[in-house]
Amino acid sequence: MSLHFHTHSLTLFLSVWREESYRFSSLSMAGTIQTMILTPRSTQTPSFRHQHLNFMATRTPACSTRSVLFIRNRSISFPLRIRANQGPGQIDDNGSGGAKTLGKSLLNFADNNFLPLALIGGVVLGLANPALGCLADKYYLSKFSTIAIFITSGLTLRNGEIGDAIEAWPVGILGICSILLFTPFLSKIILQIQLQPQEFVTGLAIFCCMPTTLSSGVALTQLAGGNSALALAMTVISNLLGILIVPFSISKFIAAGIGVSVPTKELFRSLVITLLIPLILGKVFRESLKGLADYVDRNRKLFSKMNAIFLSLAPFIQVSRSRSMLLMVKPSVFLVAVGMGVILHLVLLSFNVFAIQGFSMVSGTNQLAFAKKKNATAYVLVASQKTLPVMVAVVEQLGGAFGESGLLVLPCVAAHLNQIIMDSFFVNFWLRKDLASKSAKAA
């Protein structure tokens, strides 16, 4: 009996010892499997794992098999969680994907706001490095940029657009009258403002008597999808007629009857060289060179960006020339002058918007020309801007009759920049609004 009991106890002990040995072996192998799964040699892991797990499944009893299966599931699922949540490759992919998305968003923003960014960049560069802008002015880079803008305008001018400009002649006449006859009356209101130095006020009053901008109105009209031929016609005609009308406007509204000498011949020759001849040359190149018209039409967005770059040279050079004088003026006074320029441009915009809307309702047979959006866009943009180069040329010929020339020009530089930057944001707003409406219609 005692021998049988000891034999039974020994058998039970050996059985328990064998099961615990198998369990320990299983734990060791599971740890080995887990370690090999996490090693770079992942291609060899499946065969090793399946061989040892199958071997253990055939050598253990039922309870041990369940233990091994439990451990096997744990060893497989654990490294998979590590790979899903902490894998360095996946984290790098997500990081690079985020960087690519951010870069794409920035590029899209720069593409959609290219003109205002170029203009602001010109202002910042002129303030940061005026020597470079003065060097560009020394070699007449501003004149070359104006010539390049009008050559580009001639290259992009389609024959159909010339027909559109002829059809929109009532809008063109209204624009020229607004530029040269109506808006100069605002100079009488501006002269009522008291500000020291008084040259700031006088300069803005002279600015009201000027024709439209030489290039920015045309460039903005092209970007906005307006009637660019109409914008070109209003720009060229108003500047050529302005040579004759500006002296009369300054004498009547500002000098109060005092005779003012304006270099009519020099201004006329300068405008013909920088505006009319480049425009004709660009159009001749388009019609005479084979394949050029198709290339320009396929890359109109590129040429618009080129015009924006040429246009940004004007604020760059003007700010560089005026930086030293700008630092001599009290910031509060200059900010008041800048605010006056902003208000002046908003008044011009409002006046021309109401004018085109009013004429579209009462013009009778010409109602269609005034109601066309392309014509209205060209009219509002071109008729609401005033040119700085002609104003500078006029002030230089006045010989200090109205005060210090630099102080007369300085607020007009700010007004010139403000009107271009403000209108560029308006154009971007209109373009996005049109795109949204087109998308809504397509949906």
Domain with residue 266: its CATH number is 1.20.1530.20
> Is residue 343 scored above 70 in pLDDT?
yes
**Euclidean distance between CA atoms 158 and 329, whole angstroms:** 47
Range of lowest pLDDT (38-47, 63-72, 171-180): 63-72
> Is residue 149 scored above 90 in pLDDT?
no
4 band by pLDDT with thresholds 50, 70 and 90: very low
Q: Which residue in 217, 191, 251 sits closest to 388, CA to CA?
A: 217
Mean pLDDT of the chain: 74
Bigger pLDDT: 100 or 55? Answer: 100
Structure tokens at 48: 């090793």
Q: Does residue 131 sit within a domain?
A: yes
* pLDDT in the model for residue 14: 52
* pLDDT in the model for residue 56: 42
Write the secondary structure of 118-150 as one string of H (helix), E (strand) and C (coil): HHHHHHHHHHHCHHHHHHHHHCCHHHHHHHHHH
424 band by pLDDT with thresholds 50, 70 and 90: confident
Q: Which residues contact 118 (CB under 8 A, 6 or more apart)?
A: 308, 309, 311, 312
Q: Does residue 25 sit within a domain?
A: no
* pLDDT in the model for residue 342: 93
Q: Does residue 157 sit within a domain?
A: yes
Q: Which residue in 379, 352, 373, 387 sits closest to 430, CA to CA?
A: 373
> Is residue 407 scored above 80 in pLDDT?
no
Over residues 216-235, the mean pLDDT reads 86
Domain residue limits at 395: 113-437
Please state whether 9 falls in left (phi above 0), alpha (psi between -120 and 50) or beta. Answer: alpha
Integer CA distances (angstroms), 210 to 23, 183, 293, in order: 98, 9, 34
Structure tokens at 260: 């003012």
> Is residue 42 scored above 50 in pLDDT?
no
* pLDDT in the model for residue 259: 54
> Is residue 80 scored above 60 in pLDDT?
no
Burial of 320 per CB tally in 10 Å (0-12, 13-18, 19+): buried
Q: Which residue in 184, 168, 166, 167 sits closest to 351, CA to CA?
A: 184
> Using omega within 30 degrees of 0 as the cis cutoff, is the peptide bond preceding 197 cis?
yes
Cβ-contact 345, 415 below 8 angstroms:
yes
> Is residue 12 scored above 70 in pLDDT?
no
Structural domains of the chain, count: 1
> Is residue 396 scored above 90 in pLDDT?
no
93 band by pLDDT with thresholds 50, 70 and 90: low
402 band by pLDDT with thresholds 50, 70 and 90: confident
Q: Does residue 380 sit within a domain?
A: yes
Q: What is the pLDDT of residues 94-133, one digit of tens each?
A: 556 677 888 888 888 888 777 778 877 887 888 888 899 8
Q: Does residue 318 sit within a domain?
A: yes
> Using omega within 30 degrees of 0 as the cis cutoff, is the peptide bond preceding 170 cis?
no
Q: What is the pLDDT of residues 258-284, one digit of tens each?
A: 455 666 677 677 778 887 888 889 989
Q: What is the pLDDT of residues 155-169, one digit of tens each?
A: 888 877 778 778 888
Q: Does residue 128 sit within a domain?
A: yes
Q: Does residue 12 sit within a domain?
A: no
**Euclidean distance between CA atoms 151 and 162, whole angstroms:** 16
* pLDDT in the model for residue 124: 84
Bigger pLDDT: 77 or 162? Answer: 162
58 band by pLDDT with thresholds 50, 70 and 90: very low
Q: Does residue 425 sit within a domain?
A: yes
Cβ-contact 386, 242 below 8 angstroms:
no
Give me the sign of the Cα torsion angle 78, 81, 85, 89: positive
**Euclidean distance between CA atoms 171 and 367, whole angstroms:** 10
